[in-house]
Amino acid sequence: MKRTKCIAYEEYIPSQGNPSVIALFINGWDSSPAFFHDLVRSIDALNLRCILVDFKFDTRDAGTTFVKMSPVARAVTIKELLDELAIDRLGIVAFGMFGGAIARQLVQKLGIDRFKFITMLAPGPCLIDNTLRDAFWNLLPLETRSGILDMKREDLHALAQKAVDLFHDGFTPRLTRDEMLTDLLGMVDELHVISDIQASKQRHAFGIPVEMICGELDEVVPLELSFKTMRGFGEVQVNIIPMAGHFFPLDYPEETANCIRDFLVEKVDGISSAKVWAV
């Protein structure tokens, strides 16, 4: 574990060769670099310098946790890390809805020209960034999760209000009913904006390669929702890991690494192909 003035992180250099590409690994809202350890070991044969950010503690204040930091605030912290390490261009590997939200904020702040590639693992609407929203998401049946970007605003509002009625007597950390309702209705408004953008026939033009990797049996972020989340992008390379659930980078690290390897070797300059993989 290394520390800068702004954040702790882990860094992995390939066992052979000099890395020519930097890859930043971003986990979800309850982040730990350990989530990516097996995956990083499985891509050792690529010439990637891997940086795994650790959001558990703010190194500027050892008593401050990152748990309540928004995607915007976390993106600012990562930008400070990149500045301190003098990293100019890099790629991103982001997991889950909150990891994806941080990645998108970082791209907006730095500009697309700073990036060589983006790999999204189990991407979704990118709004689950606190315990309340996570609890709300866990209440939803699979069918509702799959179609949430196509729901009407009034139907989403009704879901949020029902969740508040259920939570307000026993939710921890303790929040008032008004606080919970304000947060969940804010999430609904954000979902509505994303839905309008993603449903547009106009796709965003990206000058960098974009990849999406999903688990076939993911019930946290169903396949249908991942496809709908990415439909506003331009060309996206899609890989689906058979029989895998939401935590496929942990459960199927070699299969996930194979998807990343094939994508990077084919699409990204500076990535070398290796016949032997170190696991």
Same domain, 14 and 96: yes
Q: Each residue of 54-97: pLDDT tens digit?
A: 877 544 444 444 445 778 888 898 999 999 999 999 999 999 98
pLDDT of residue 279: 32
Q: How far apart are CA 261 and CA 85, in angstroms?
A: 25
- Mean pLDDT calculated for residue range 217-221: 95
Which residues constitute the domain of residue 138? 130-199
- Mean pLDDT calculated for residue range 134-155: 91
How many structural domains compose the chain? 2
Same domain, 149 and 274: no
Same domain, 85 and 209: yes
Same domain, 31 and 84: yes
Q: Is the pLDDT of residue 276 over 50?
A: no
pLDDT of residue 171: 67
pLDDT of residue 278: 36
Q: Pick the residue with more confidence: 51 or 233?
A: 51
Out of 199, 219, 250, a domain closes at 199
- Mean pLDDT calculated for residue range 248-254: 95
Same domain, 143 and 106: no
Q: How confident is the model at residue 193 (pLDDT cuts 50, 70, 90)?
A: confident
Angle between helices 153-167 and 177-199 (to 10 degrees): 150
Does 173 sit behind a cis peptide bond, omega within 30 degrees of 0 on the bond before it?
yes
pLDDT of residue 189: 85
Same domain, 78 and 111: yes
Same domain, 173 and 212: no
Q: How confident is the model at residue 249 (pLDDT cuts 50, 70, 90)?
A: very high
pLDDT of residue 63: 44
Same domain, 163 and 217: no
Same domain, 168 and 225: no
Q: How far apart are CA 180 and CA 222, in angstroms?
A: 25
Same domain, 177 and 211: no
Q: How confident is the model at residue 30 (pLDDT cuts 50, 70, 90)?
A: low
Same domain, 213 and 250: yes
Which percentage of the chain shows pLDDT scores above 90? 46
Q: Is the pLDDT of residue 9 over 80?
A: yes
Q: How far apart are CA 174 and CA 51, in angstroms?
A: 35
pLDDT of residue 273: 57
Q: What is the CATH number of the domain that holds 75?
A: 3.40.50.1820
Out of 171, 199, 227, a domain closes at 199
Out of 199, 223, 251, a domain closes at 199
Q: Is the pLDDT of residue 122 over 80?
A: yes
Q: Pick the residue with more confidence: 194 or 32?
A: 32
Contacts of 111 (CB under 8 A, 6+ apart): none
Same domain, 223 and 185: no
What's the per-residue H, E or C state across the chain? CEECCCCEEEEECCCCCCCCEEEEEECCCCCCHHHHHHHHHHCCCCCEEEEEEECCCECCECCCCCCCCCHHHHHHHHHHHHHHCCCCCEEEEEEHHHHHHHHHHHHHHHCHHHEEEEEEECCCCCCCCCHHHHHHHHHCCHHHHHCHHHCCHHHHHHHHHHHHHHHCCCCCCCCCHHHHHHHHHHHHHHHHHHHHHHHCCCCCCCCCCEEEEEECCCCCCCHHHHHHHHCCCCCCEEEEECCCCCCHHHHCHHHHHHHHHHHHHHHCCCCCCCCCCCC
